[in-house]
Amino acid sequence: MKILFKIVLLFLISCNTSNQKKELTTETAAQVVYKVEDVLIKTQNGATISAMIVQHKDTETPKPVILQYTIYVRDKGRDIKTLKELADRGYVAVIAYTRGKRFSPDEIYPYEHVAEDSYDVIDWISKQKWCNGSIGMFGGSYNGFSQWAATKKIHPALKTIVPYVANRPGKGLPIENNVFITPNYSWSLFVGNNKYLDTIVGNDRQRFRQMQNKWWESGVAFKKIDSIDGTPNKYFQRWIQHPSFDEYWQKMTPYKTEFANINIPILSIDGYYNDSQNSSLSYVRDHYTYNTKANHYVIIGPYGHFGAQRKGDSILQGYKVDKGALIDTKKITYQWLDYILKKGDKPQMLKDKINYQVMGASEWRSAPSIDKMSNDSLLLYLTKKKSGAFYALHSKKPINEKHLYQEVDFRDRETGNNDYYPDPIIRDDIDTSNGFNFISKPLTEEIVINGSFSGKIMASINKKDMDIGVTLYELRPDGTYFHLSYFLGRASYAKDDSMRNLLTPNTKEVIPFINTHLVSKRLEKGSRLVVYLNVNKNSFSPLNYGTGKAVMDETILDAKEPLKVKWYNDSFVTIPIWKE
């Protein structure tokens, strides 16, 4: 591989404050000269990667390198600022832009070539005279994905990664448990329309909300949603050809036994209310499943997708976050990089492998694994017995088989089902217009919910498939509902996300669910647990009419007969808890 061209620019900045001076590791003068290079890196398969390199001009000895690998081209100031911060900390800093972005002449295909290209980029960096042979990576969202992609075939020079809220294509984004999430649609145009970012598209939420609503009202196949928008979307069309977690998605990041080869230290950062938490934590779970000696730390707390990448948000979707939960992600990242690459001190908050903030208790706790966050569990059955306006959640399995009956008319576009999204987190009431709510008895003692709830839904339907939602709330003594976690998924993929197994009409089926959002929350004495069960039918995802055809091809013409569901009373949820 070789550099196709190189432009060397020198930038002068003044460091007037004492704080800025303290951050400098190789300079003591009031002025620092940075050497900024734009390079093109040729990969082994002929692609071209555009990158920027920043280091202090008078650097004489090789240094560890920090690489950010991204699809977000923000070189008008934001990227260069981050690179200079790293240079001030004694690193050589590199941002590489994925194939097709910035000065790369190639086509743009989000996710698809990062695993192969990142290896070549790291290899090129490792051979430069300014690199001491040690490379670290960090960043969030897509940048988190690119770090995991770089570990699919791990380069010897890659010594650590620090992914925040990492995307995992096919698991969480752009599909969650095999259900395409419509708000992901516009992102592909935002990053794929040009060499930089299409901010006009990215900021036009009204356009895509109108697109959703028009599709919903029209009853046309979901695969035609881009024709409703009026702009072809090749990325969307590419993605919807793969509703299973098939080879297309599997080749983008480590898969199964490939995790066994990842032996570098890793620090993952995530949030309870990060929309892509399923993605991010699936890496963690798979890493520990296939590598029992994985040196992998996690920090997780009450953050959303963006809050986890900065200092959190004091108010998160209406919830006032505990002050002690508001960590400085950048500061911890730099501490970790210094710890691994410069033999510095380990970040103090990493007491054990899993470090989590307990909402409502205003404290941090640690555990050696996600499973060991809990020492007990609540197994609660979704019974047919009435409990006030709801049905009873009961710890004992019902003796006699009974069921609750639900009909869902997919021709009806006045009514939506499954209000599962946690915004606001705290609300005065929950949806009771359709679906079923199940409520526990008041807690006789304080408990902490710690981990991801799971369960099995026993149901029979008159069709071959359905999408379901299961949402978990705390009903607090003051009468408000606190959104804890949720599951959204397709029944035909419940047992294997890589292969569709259609349901047998009018036959009782077991629909297990496990891939829910992890949470830690103290529940006070007198609180009650509420489980909301429903068929998913709304404009935020395709409509699964249950014919057994590809869901993306189904139309309102497939909705002649309503979906008829029997929800059986031996359905249950399992909620992991910590009891003192």
What is the average pLDDT across 287-303?
97
Whole-number pLDDT of residue 189: 96
Number of H helices, E strands in the chain: 12, 29
Per-residue pLDDT band for 70 (boundaries 50, 70, 90) equals very high
- Reference 452, options 100, 177, 202; nearest CA is 177
pLDDT of residue 100: 97
Rounded to an integer, the average pLDDT of 323-332 is 96
pLDDT of the residue at 540: 94
Domain 376-578, CATH: 2.60.120.260
Task: Look at the block and give the residue holding tokens 């508001």.
Answer: 326
Q: Is the pTM of this model over 0.85?
A: yes
pLDDT at 17: 33
pLDDT tens, residue by residue, 376-399: 999 999 999 999 999 999 999 999
Q: What is the mean pLDDT of residues 101-123?
A: 97
- Spans of all domains in the chain: 3-172+246-372, 179-239, 376-578
Q: What is the mean pLDDT of residues 73-90?
A: 91
pLDDT of residue 134: 98
Q: What percent of the chain has pLDDT over 70?
A: 95
pLDDT band at 29 (very low <50, low <70, confident <90, very high): very low
**The predicted structure's pLDDT at residue 59:** 77
Q: Is the pLDDT of residue 27 over 60?
A: no
Pairing of strands 528-535, 454-461: unpaired
Q: How confident is the model at residue 479 (pLDDT cuts 50, 70, 90)?
A: very high
Classified by CATH at the fold level, domain 3-172+246-372 comes out as Rossmann fold (3.40.50)
User: Other CB atoms closer than 10 Å to residue 545's CB: what's the count?
Assistant: 26
At 28 the pLDDT is 42
Whether residue 4 is predicted with pLDDT greater than 80 in this model: the reply is no
- Do residues 319 and 307 touch, judged by C-beta distance below 8 A? no
Q: What is the per-residue pLDDT for 173?
A: 87
Helix (H) or strand (E) holding 206: helix 205-218
Q: Quick one: pLDDT at residue 77? A: 83
pLDDT given at position 481: 98
Question: By CB neighbour count within 10 A (0-12 exposed, 13-18 middle, 19+ buried), where does 183 fall?
Answer: middle
- Mean per-residue pLDDT for 529-552? 97
pLDDT tens digits for range 412-424: 999 999 999 999 9
pLDDT digits (tens, 9 = 90+) for 348-362: 999 999 999 999 999
Within a 10 A sphere around the Cβ of 355, how many other Cβ atoms?
Answer: 21
User: Average pLDDT of 463-484?
Assistant: 98
| Gap between the Cα atoms of 269 and 359, Å rounded | 17
Cis link prior to 424 (omega < 30° from 0)? yes
Q: Is the pLDDT of residue 7 over 90?
A: no
Q: Stretch 461-474: mean pLDDT, rounded?
A: 98
Alpha helices in 449-545 (DSSP H): none
pLDDT in tens, 559-569: 999 999 999 99
> If you average pLDDT over residues 31-37, what whole number do you get?
86
Q: How confident is residue 6, by pLDDT bands cut at 50, 70 and 90?
A: very low
- Contact of 324 with 363, CB cutoff 8 Å: yes
pLDDT, one tens digit per residue, over 440-465 is: 999 999 999 999 999 999 999 999 99
Instruction: Give the pLDDT score at 355.
Output: 98
Local confidence band at 31 (pLDDT 50, 70, 90 cut-offs):
low
> Is residue 65 scored above 90 in pLDDT?
yes
pLDDT digits over 184-197, tens only? 899 999 999 999 99
pLDDT at site 19: 37
Res. 345 pLDDT band, cuts 50 70 90: very high
Provide CB contacts within 8 A for 467, sequence distance 6+: 179, 488, 489, 490, 491, 535, 536, 537, 541, 544
Residue 89 has pLDDT above 90, yes or no: yes
Read off the pLDDT of residues 165-224 as tens digits, 9 standing for 90 and up: 999 999 988 999 999 999 889 999 999 999 999 999 999 999 999 999 999 999 999 999
Residue 67 in this model has a pLDDT that exceeds 50: yes
Report d(CA 466, CA 491) in Å as an integer: 6
Number of residues that make up the chain: 580
Residue 238 in contact with residue 229, Cβ under 8 Å? Answer: no
Q: Which of 350, 334, 349 is nearest to 136 (CA)?
A: 334
